[in-house]
Amino acid sequence: MNKRLLVPFFLQKLDEKLLRNKPNTWAARTHLVIWFAVLFTLALGGFCYLAFFDARQYNSIGGWVTFVSLVAFIGFVFWIIFLLRFNLFKRYGNWFMWDGLKSFGLYFISIGAMVAVCFLPSEIQMLRANQQFGNEEIVNDINEINVDACKLEYELLPLQWKSEKYKVVNEIHDSPVTAEVEVDTIGSKLIYTDKQSMQLIDTMALRNKLAQTDSVIKVNDSIYIFFDCPDYTFVSSYHADEYTHKKIMDSKDIYYTVIKNYAKPDRVALLKKMDELYTKYATDNRFGYNDNYTDYNNNDNYNTRIIRKYKLGEVDNGLYNIVDKKYSWVNSWESYLRIFYYITLVLTLLVFIFRHTTVKTFFLSLLASVILMIFTGLLMVMSGGSDSSMYSFMIVYYVGFALLALSINASKVRSALQGIALNLFLFMTPFIPLIFVGLNRAIDRGSRYEEGNYYRPEEDKTALYTVIAEIAGIVILLILLEPLFRRLYRKWFAAPEN
């Protein structure tokens, strides 16, 4: 028996069985890739689990991902070396329907397993952060720190809210954005002179301002006075309360809870609590954030004085790092899924093409695609082309490749040009629906801009169409893979040369 390092007996038996019964499956070596991916995942997972023992430390996942990606790449190269040794198609072995689809699936799984391990450190880091700190716990502690700091340093806090007056206009074209405005309505507690200097605001900005302000008085239909509470938050975290029942208290909440009806606190108990929370969260280790300490040290306003006194900058660092890790996947899983999918798909397509074409034609195809990209770029630069013309070019190329590839059916000799066209035809197919979505969006945007409308319509369904196009692309590819692409490859590859 052929002994392989770290491969258990049952897998060696499976390997032998596949070699003698399923040559195409055996040649893909997916069973070995999955086994080594599992081994690597266990080893790396265990190592990461131990390494990520302190969720307060800054997020160093970039380095980890780079390291694991390099290891995965080495694994990929090894796999390719093994994969290229045996090729049923190029040996003109017995032809079975669906072998192409099966091979594509096996390549996708193998490459997917190698790409997936690159995400492992990030997953373990998230898992560890969630194990160490609960979602509600963090929100409670942030509120506790801010409230306690306000209670302890009440004398330092500003109590006056900042006010700003705005006049609503239909459009703001250029500066100045302030104007002298006649006020003919007087608010109940506010006295105005006849002319007021006010900032101009358009309706869209008004909508945003209304959503963000702590308080507002509508003087009349076009004049608003906005009030903003002084900042009573010393530590915070952007995503921390996104998925919790309890929310992080903003300055206004703190004002109404602590400041407005201030009562003298038990300072000893509060200081003890602040100490405990400092120990729990503080770290001076926050990647790329150290510059802010200069501001804290140089400024002498109430905020920085309180932050400096209770070392809340370090607490904020810890909170930032923890929340960053806890929610690293929650808000990005779609992006991660797309990264995983597209890397895997592109590599799978390249491997599939390489397995069905000659080495020369494969590299000529890569060269041709680079030359076409340069050519298209030049054309667009020279003609001042827009997004839509770029998408149009791609569709024209695709049609050209398809026609050339289909001409293989009528050809009696193997031509490199047809081979290149077939390779590029196959490669572009899963992306064609996306190109059409892009074209549609570019045309739509172009026509809106021509009408002077620069806002994306609310009923914009680009995201939905993108997902549909992504799914449609791979479905079309899989449907055409066996009856069209593989048949063309069969005809082209086996044809005699001139």
Q: Is residue 305 part of the contact set for other proteins (CB under 8 A)? A: no
Least distance to other proteins from the beta carbon of 497, Å?
6
- Residues numbered 109 to 168 that lie near other proteins (CB under 8 A) are none
119 vs 124: CA distance, rounded Å: 9
Determine the 3-state secondary structure of 179 from DSSP: strand
Q: Which part of the chain contacts other proteins (CB under 8 A), choosing from 35-43, 80-88, 140-148, 396-404?
A: 80-88
| Cis before 176? omega within 30 | yes
Least distance to other proteins from the beta carbon of 30, Å?
16
487 vs 21: CA distance, rounded Å: 24
Q: Is residue 490 part of the contact set for other proteins (CB under 8 A)? A: yes
| Residue of the chain from 217, 339, 484, 495 that contacts other proteins (CB under 8 A) | 495
Question: Could you give the angle at which helices 61-83 and 99-116 cross, rounded to 10 degrees?
Answer: 150
96 vs 83: CA distance, rounded Å: 19
Which pair of structure tokens corresponds to residue 44?
């790396």
| Phi then psi dihedrals of residue 59, to 5 deg | -75, 105
82 vs 72: CA distance, rounded Å: 15
**Sequence-distant (≥ 6) Cβ neighbours of residue 380 within 8 angstroms:** 389, 390, 393
Assess contact for 145 and 275: CB atoms under 8 A: no
Q: Which part of the chain contacts other proteins (CB under 8 A), choosing from 346-354, 374-382, 425-433, 485-493?
A: 485-493
Q: Is residue 91 part of the contact set for other proteins (CB under 8 A)? A: yes
Assess contact for 11 and 31: CB atoms under 8 A: yes
Question: Could you give the angle at which helices 61-83 and 30-51 cross, rounded to 10 degrees?
Answer: 160
Assess contact for 106 and 82: CB atoms under 8 A: no
Q: Which part of the chain contacts other proteins (CB under 8 A), choosing from 20-28, 72-80, 169-177, 262-270?
A: 20-28
Q: How far apart are the first and last CA of the chain?
A: 44
- Residues numbered 94 to 113 that lie near other proteins (CB under 8 A) are 94-95
Cβ neighbours around 460 below 10 Å, total: 12
Q: Is residue 92 part of the contact set for other proteins (CB under 8 A)? A: yes
Assess contact for 225 and 164: CB atoms under 8 A: yes
Least distance to other proteins from the beta carbon of 414, Å?
8
Least distance to other proteins from the beta carbon of 34, Å?
20
The residues with which 162 forms a beta bridge, in sequence order, are 228
Q: Which is nearer to other proteins, 84 or 217 (CB)?
A: 84
Q: Is residue 3 part of the contact set for other proteins (CB under 8 A)? A: no
| Residue of the chain from 5, 6, 21, 194 that contacts other proteins (CB under 8 A) | 21
141 vs 134: CA distance, rounded Å: 11
Least distance to other proteins from the beta carbon of 5, Å?
15
Assess contact for 495 and 456: CB atoms under 8 A: no
83 vs 86: CA distance, rounded Å: 6
| Residue of the chain from 10, 412, 458, 463 that contacts other proteins (CB under 8 A) | 412
Q: Which is nearer to other proteins, 23 or 400 (CB)?
A: 23
Q: Which is nearer to other proteins, 26 or 79 (CB)?
A: 26
Q: Which is nearer to other proteins, 93 or 158 (CB)?
A: 93
Q: Is residue 491 part of the contact set for other proteins (CB under 8 A)? A: yes
225 vs 167: CA distance, rounded Å: 9
| Residue of the chain from 176, 288, 452, 496 that contacts other proteins (CB under 8 A) | 496
Q: Is residue 484 part of the contact set for other proteins (CB under 8 A)? A: no
Q: Which is nearer to other proteins, 99 or 324 (CB)?
A: 99
Across 38-75, b (16+ Cβ under 10 Å) vs e yields: eebeeebbeebeebbeebbbbbebeebbeebbeebeeb
| Residue of the chain from 7, 14, 19, 390 that contacts other proteins (CB under 8 A) | 19
| Residue of the chain from 11, 34, 84, 270 that contacts other proteins (CB under 8 A) | 84
Q: What is the DSSP letter of 239?
A: S
Least distance to other proteins from the beta carbon of 28, Å?
12
Q: Which is nearer to other proteins, 107 or 320 (CB)?
A: 107
Q: Is residue 45 part of the contact set for other proteins (CB under 8 A)? A: no
Kind and range of the H or E run holding 167? strand 162-169
Least distance to other proteins from the beta carbon of 244, Å?
57
Half-sphere exposure of 242 (CA within 13 A, CB side): 11
Q: Which is nearer to other proteins, 81 or 268 (CB)?
A: 81
Q: Is residue 488 part of the contact set for other proteins (CB under 8 A)? A: no
Least distance to other proteins from the beta carbon of 357, Å?
14
Q: Which is nearer to other proteins, 384 or 496 (CB)?
A: 496
Q: Which is nearer to other proteins, 82 or 363 (CB)?
A: 82
Q: Which is nearer to other proteins, 450 or 497 (CB)?
A: 497
Q: Which part of the chain contacts other proteins (CB under 8 A), choosing from 44-52, 78-86, 137-145, 455-463?
A: 78-86
Give the footprint of other proteins on this chain (CB under 8 A): 2, 19-23, 26-27, 82, 84-86, 88, 91-95, 412-413, 490-491, 493-498
